[in-house]
């Protein structure tokens, strides 16, 4: 439960960073504010989910609606943090591995939010993720390479590619991409049948984020199910 609650606060922070990057504002020194009237938010207005519910989804100052993106994203990051903890500790990892993957998914979540809203990926987040990966490996040489995709690992070596491959085993990276393509395809088919034509680009990173998360939580089960179904 503590992981979930901590994840709610993390989600609030990540939402704030994504919003500041989107608006090209400073997110290090400036205070959180209402996106409508610019009212600086007090500490009681910054409690994840709870503040949204107590204020009936409205700004306490200008009374305009607060986007549902904030409580929904906070809940998602709460689930994300809890899921990562269970996956890491269940796979034999420790606190270093947990923080390592939490950092990775935090960067990933920001990129997914930006892609979802703007279809634009800010390269600074990718650079920050790479820098974090480097710092973790230099500071913790004994960092474990956890594998979540079960028997799929035996088809790959221990070196990885792409941003996901930096943090995850190559087998997990491949499964993440496969799931993202599957989920994105399902969403694309649904939208095509609903609107008869594509009105705009479908952001890919959110599907990649979900695919990667599912790999870390259910990777071994997914591969096991696929092997039983096809062999």
**In terms of pLDDT, which residue wins out, 65 or 192?**
65
Mean pLDDT along residues 36-59: 77
Q: What is the pLDDT of residue 150?
A: 62
Q: Give 230's pLDDT tier (boundaries 50, 70, 90).
A: confident
Cα–Cα distance between 151 and 89 in angstroms, integer? 19
Looking at residue 156, what is its pLDDT? 46
Of the candidates 83, 69, 57, 81, which has an alpha carbon nearest to the alpha carbon of residue 15? 69
Looking at residue 216, what is its pLDDT? 87
- What is the mean predicted confidence (pLDDT) over 118-122? 78
Model pLDDT, residue 95: 92
C-alpha of 157 from chain center: 26
pTM recorded for the entire structure: 0.77
pLDDT digits (tens, 9 = 90+) for 52-102: 788 777 877 777 787 788 888 899 999 999 999 988 898 888 899 899 999
pLDDT at 155: 47
Q: What's the CA angle centered on 131, arms 127 and 132, to 5 degrees?
A: 115
* Residue 75 pLDDT: 92
Q: Are 148 and 223 in contact (CB under 8 A)?
A: no
Mean of pLDDT values over 104-116: 88
Tokens 């993957």 locate to 101
Provide the pLDDT for residue 6: 93
Q: pLDDT tens digits, residue range 137-188?
A: 899 988 877 777 665 555 444 533 556 767 777 778 888 888 888 888 887 7
Contact 110, 21 (CB under 8 A): yes
Q: Which helix (H) or strand (E) holds 228?
A: helix 205-230
Mean pLDDT calculated for residue range 112-139: 85
Q: Per residue in 103-141, is it b (16+ CB within 10 Å) or e — as a string?
A: bbbbbbbbbbbbbbeeeebbeebeeebeebbeebeeeee
Instruction: Give percent of the chain above pLDDT 70.
Output: 85
At residue 151, the pLDDT reads 55
Split at pLDDT 50, 70, 90, the class of 28 is low
DSSP state of 92: T
H-helix segments, 25-144: 50-54, 69-90, 95-118, 123-139
> What mean pLDDT value characterizes the chain?
80
């Amino acid at each position: 439960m503590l992981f979930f609650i901590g994840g709610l606060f993390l989600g609030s922070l990540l939402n704030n960073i994504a919003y500041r990057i989107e608006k090209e504002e400073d997110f290090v020194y400036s205070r959180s504010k209402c996106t409508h009237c610019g009212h600086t938010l007090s500490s009681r207005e910054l409690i994840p989910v709870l503040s949204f519910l107590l204020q009936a989804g409205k700004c306490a100052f200008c009374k305009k609606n607060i986007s549902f993106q904030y409580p929904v994203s906070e809940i998602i990051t709460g689930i994300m943090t809890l899921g990562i903890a269970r996956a890491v500790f269940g796979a034999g990892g420790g606190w270093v591995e947990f923080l390592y993957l939490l950092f990775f998914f935090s960067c990933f979540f920001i990129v997914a939010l930006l892609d979802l809203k703007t279809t634009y990926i800010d390269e600074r987040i990718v650079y920050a993720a790479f820098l974090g990966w480097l710092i973790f490996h230099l500071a913790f040489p004994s960092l474990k390479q956890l594998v979540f995709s079960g028997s799929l690992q035996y088809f790959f070596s221990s070196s990885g590619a792409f941003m996901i491959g930096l943090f995850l085993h190559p087998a997990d990276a491949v499964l993440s991409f496969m799931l993202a393509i599957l989920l994105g395809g399902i969403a694309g088919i649904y939208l095509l049948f609903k609107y008869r034509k594509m009105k705009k680009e479908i952001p890919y990173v959110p599907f990649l984020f979900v695919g990667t998360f599912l790999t870390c939580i259910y990777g071994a089960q997914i591969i096991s199910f696929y092997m039983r179904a096809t062999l």
